[in-house]
A and B are shown apart, each in its own frame.
Chain A
Amino acid sequence: AQSVTQLGSHVSVSEGALVLLRCNYSSSVPPYLFWYVQYPNQGLQLLLKYTTGATLVKGINGFEAEFKKSETSFHLTKPSAHMSDAAEYFCAVSKAAGNKLTFGGGTRVLVKP
């Protein structure tokens, strides 16, 4: 069975500071990995995904994530936080793209002026 652990249910960062959201997964097969963002009262929007190939993945809004197989991690980063980054972020894993996703518990990001 697959599982996803997101460290920290809440993260507070200052505007302009680095955003780092941690995600570790367990999977019996090579995984497909995703980060989604959810703004208040909205559904989930894909930030980025890893399927195969380059392990450093760039997504929308300046976010990127690196797949590290040896650490079973897929941490999300953004060099400089913006007020508009305040949202909840979900890491997810799938055995095949388009197949069902298993989600982590989510990390809510607060951006301070």
Chain B
Amino acid sequence: DVKVTQSSRYLVKRTGEKVFLECVQDMDHENMFWYRQDPGLGLRLIYFSYDVKMKEKGDIPEGYSVSREKKERFSLILESASTNQTSMYLCASSPTNTGNTIYFGEGSWLTVV
């Protein structure tokens, strides 16, 4: 069965902290994504990666960075967390073959206080 696992479901961090959100997929997918979900705005793409050590900015990369050292793992990093980064973060992965689906993890709720 398809599995995208986000290591933390709920986190509370302080302003200015460095925050790591981890995501692992077990499907050998080439593509991995980080989205942010906010009410009324749907999901917005932060960063994506189409191969190990490769990354591209999405629509809202400011304040975030990513790391992909291994094919199965894609990390989202908040260098200095701010209250406006309080949100739900969703990781996803997909193969490069046409016609295939993007698979999502269950999400990580981050609250920055």
Contacts and interface: CB of A to CB of B under 8 A. Distances in A.
A32 to B, nearest CB: 8
Interface string A75-113: 000000000000000101000111111111110000000
Say which size band chain A's interface belongs to: 20 to 34
B84 interface: no
A101 B105 CA distance: 15
Given A44-B104, A100-B33, A100-B45, A51 B40 contact: no
Most buried by B among A51, A97, A105: A97
Nearest to B94: A98
A51 B98 contact: yes
Nearest to B40: A105
Nearest to B91: A43
Interface residues of B, number: 27
B51 interface: no
B26 to A, nearest CB: 15
A28 B102 CA distance: 21
Contact of B43 (A41, A49, A97, A103): A103
Contacts of A36: 104
Most buried by B among A4, A6, A34, A98: A98
Interface of B: 4, 31, 33, 35, 40-45, 48, 58, 90, 92, 94-102, 104-107
Interface of A: 4, 6, 9, 34, 36, 41-46, 49, 51, 90, 92, 96-106
Given A90-B43, A98-B97, A99-B31, 11 more contacts: A4-B42, A34-B101, A44-B92, A45-B104, A98-B100, A100-B33, A100-B48, A100-B58, A102-B45, A103-B35, A106-B40
